[in-house]
Amino acid sequence: MSIIARNVTKRFGAFTALDDVTIEVATGSLTALLGPSGSGKSTLLRVIAGLDTPDTGTVEIGGSDATRLPPQRRDVGFVFQHYAPFKHMTVARNVAFGLSIRKRPKAEIRGRVQELLELVHLEKFADRYPAQLSGGQRQRMALARALAVEPRVLLLDEPFGALDAQVRKELRIWLRRLHDDLHVTTVIVTHDQEEAMEVADEVVVMSDGTVAQVGAPQDIYDNPVNDWVMTFLGPVTNLKGALIRPHDLVLSADSTAESIPATVVGVTRLGFETRIALTYEGQELWAQVTSEVADQLGLAPGSTVYVRHRGPVMQVTS
């Protein structure tokens, strides 16, 4: 089921959350809406779900116009950042909820719930209450609950935002695998660019209620459309007035063509990578190299090292 949101505008009082936004989500893809707080990504997701109504614009799901439909009739699965568990129901009853609303026969519900709980590895917790689960378990329950009714699309609003870093990374991988198995059109909202890059087929970068750039993760990382996108998507540093990726800087002990002599200010070793703070003609910049390379160069604060850019220098207009 594809999703098309066209010319969507949404204001909350004086604040414009979405300004004439148009996006297309291909069937079966996993698309990330990526952006900082206030970029409008959550609002867009909620508009697609029908939880908020846009001031202008349309929403199409699977080719048919869903703009006037309430959330009950859009057949979308929605997973909230704080899981929105039904606190007064057990895990099993939570997952069964959508099916019981649709008045499916009890045996069918039981079977489906069991299937889903096994899918998310919560079989042993069927009779527990959400309060007794950890954050990661609650999130898996929320996912199972949304998937139970076999929605046409799955929408996740910062699903891992409230979890610890380690749990977040694990669930990220698990979600990607789940998507590869189930092939449900999925849209995930996140402010974490690492998450978007790792998990999504396509990334929609949003800022201040508009779409800044759309593309596959590697594409937009390598070819950002402006300075802001480049800065948001990954580490940046400044070389002779141009924005550069620190890991695109090559350091050598001897001068080479196009290299500049920079002075080492500090060396920070972080496991696999080493970060080197430099100054050149009064300007500060930094480079990311593997610790192996750093060790070979034997850098110390005060020494000179020759720096050049790995590829063609970006000339971007902000």
Residues that bind other proteins (CB under 8 A): 49-52, 70-78, 80, 82, 84-88, 97-98, 101-102, 129, 131, 142, 145-146, 149
Residue 34 has which token pair? 């990526």
Q: For residue 96, which amino acid is it?
A: A
Q: What are phi and psi of 201, to 5 degrees?
A: -80, -40
- Closer residue to other proteins in complex, CB, 102/183: 102
Q: 3-class DSSP state for residue 78? A: strand
CA–CA distance, 108 with 95 (Å, rounded to integer): 13
Whether residue 214 contacts residue 35, with contact meaning beta carbons closer than 8 Å, is answered with no
Smaller CB separation from other proteins, 69 or 277: 69
Please count the other Cβ atoms lying within 10 Å of the Cβ belonging to residue 287: 26
CB of 189 to other proteins, least distance (A): 14
Nearer to other proteins, 151 or 224 (CB): 151
CB of 67 to other proteins, least distance (A): 16
Q: How far is the CB of 153 from other proteins (least distance, A)?
A: 11
- Kindly give the interhelix angle for 135-147 and 91-101, rounded to the nearest 10 degrees: 20
Whole-number minimum distance, CB 50 to other proteins, in Å? 8
Which residue pairs from 213-221 have beta carbons closer than 8 angstroms and sit at least 24 positions apart in sequence?
214/23, 221/197
Q: Considering the complex, state which of residue 48 and residue 285 has its C-beta at the smaller distance from other proteins.
A: 48
Composition of the chain by helix, strand, coil, percent to 5: 35, 35, 35
Q: In a 10 Å sphere around its CB, with 0-12 CB exposed, 13-18 middle and 19+ buried, how is residue 175 labelled?
A: buried
**CA atoms of 158 and 191, how far apart (whole Å):** 8
On the CB side of 184, CA atoms within 13 Å amount to: 23
Q: Which residue has the tokens 């008045």?
A: 103
Task: Give min distance, CB of 137 to other proteins, in A.
Answer: 17
Q: Nearer Cβ to other proteins, position 84 or 126? A: 84
- Element at 203 (helix H, strand E): strand 202-207
**Smallest distance from other proteins to CB 317, Å:** 40
Contact 192, 35 (CB under 8 A): no
Please say which residue, 78 or 286, places its beta carbon nearer to other proteins: 78
Q: Minimal distance in Å, beta carbon 149 to other proteins?
A: 6
